[in-house]
Amino acid sequence: MDIKILHIDSNNPILWEQLEQAGFINHADFTSSKQEIESKIQDYNGIVIRSRFKIDKQFLDKATNLQFIARVGAGLESIDCDYATSKNVALIAAPEGNCNAVAEHTLGMILSLFNKLNIADSEIRSGEWNREKNRGHELDGKTVGIIGYGNMGKAFSKKLRGFDVEVLCYDIKENVGDANARQVSLQELQQKTDVLSLHIPWTPETDKMVNSDFINAFAKDIWIINTSRGKNIITADLVTAMQSGKVLGAGLDVLEYEKLSFETLFQDKNTPEAFQYLLDGRKVILTPHIAGWTYESHERLAQVIVDKIKALYGKN
């Protein structure tokens, strides 16, 4: 039986090429609307997608011959996973494909915040030479708290091995700690952490998890890094904590206001007040959801997806 795969987003060429070599039939459609894709999806056994649109019950009901959905990325929040599973549709993701990229980006954000690299660079370009104002902090001696200790969290803790830091992790799964991070309760993590790094998916449990109560439960004033999902943090509450000094700085690769596709920010004419504070803030580093978006991870993500699709059909 020929296995027909519809590619809904562009990816590294090796994904297409290696699937073709393995005997799969590839078709691409990067421009049609969701409704137009739904009208022909019954012809396909597999879908390869990044985040172009949500694969919901309506879509899955029309995909009568679907055997798998492969998302070239870490999270599956754009897919109705329970409904897909109930229809015996295999779900494939590649969190191991970009975890190193995320880990390096996270560390880069921390070091840039601590040493005010973005501020100092901007000031020099505008003719200012401020040494005392840009005195930095050292990571050594701090406690780093990681929430979410899967592929991303573990990769980040590995990067911290060269620093004299205590690394704690909290996860809903038991016994995930390792030589690089000691697993603790959320209460202990909040008691000891100086730098908080989020490596969690976006689920009903993590949606708006970082709010005022959550932040104020930390015993120390903290730095927050978020390379997971924007909606895990209530931006207005983060800003309130920054204004009070409870949050000393924030590195945000993801924003509450992002579209589901991650390709654009909100299109509203009025910028939310909290977001304007971030844009104006000296203690904030913002990047456009690129923590896992390196040249190397682009290829690695594609390779992981290829290998998993081939394994599904016993072609490895």
What is the per-residue pLDDT for 292?
92
Q: Which tokens sit at 226?
A: 């978020």
- Tell me the pLDDT tens digit for each residue of 226-274: 999 999 999 999 999 999 999 999 999 999 988 765 566 655 667 888 9
Active-site hit among 77, 104, 256, 258: 258
What is the per-residue pLDDT for 266?
59
What is the per-residue pLDDT for 260?
67
- Tell me the pLDDT tens digit for each residue of 166-188: 999 999 999 999 999 999 999 99
- Fold of the domain spanning 99-286: Rossmann fold (3.40.50)
Whether 229 is a known active-site residue: answer yes
Q: Where are the beta strands (DSSP E) in the chain?
A: 4-7, 25-28, 46-49, 68-71, 90-92, 143-147, 166-170, 182-183, 195-198, 222-226, 247-252, 284-286
What distances in angstroms separate CA 92 from CA 76, 181, 304, 308, one per listed residue?
Answer: 9, 28, 10, 7
- Is the pLDDT at 79 greater than 90, yes or no? no
Q: How many Cα atoms occupy the beta-carbon half-sphere of 288 within 13 Å?
A: 7
Q: Are strands 195-198 and 284-286 parallel, antiparallel or unpaired?
A: unpaired
Active-site hit among 71, 199, 229, 300: 229
CATH of domain 4-97+296-312: 3.40.50.720
- Please provide the average confidence, as pLDDT, over all residues in the chain: 92
Element (H, E) at 83: helix 81-86
Domain with CATH 3.40.50.720 in the chain: 4-97+296-312, 99-286
Whether 258 is a known active-site residue: answer yes
Contacts of 268 (CB under 8 A, 6+ apart): none
Active-site hit among 7, 71, 199, 289: 289
Whether 137 is a known active-site residue: answer no
What is the average pLDDT across 98-115? 97
Query: Which of 49, 45, 102 lies closest to 79, judged by CA?
Result: 49
What is the per-residue pLDDT for 154?
97
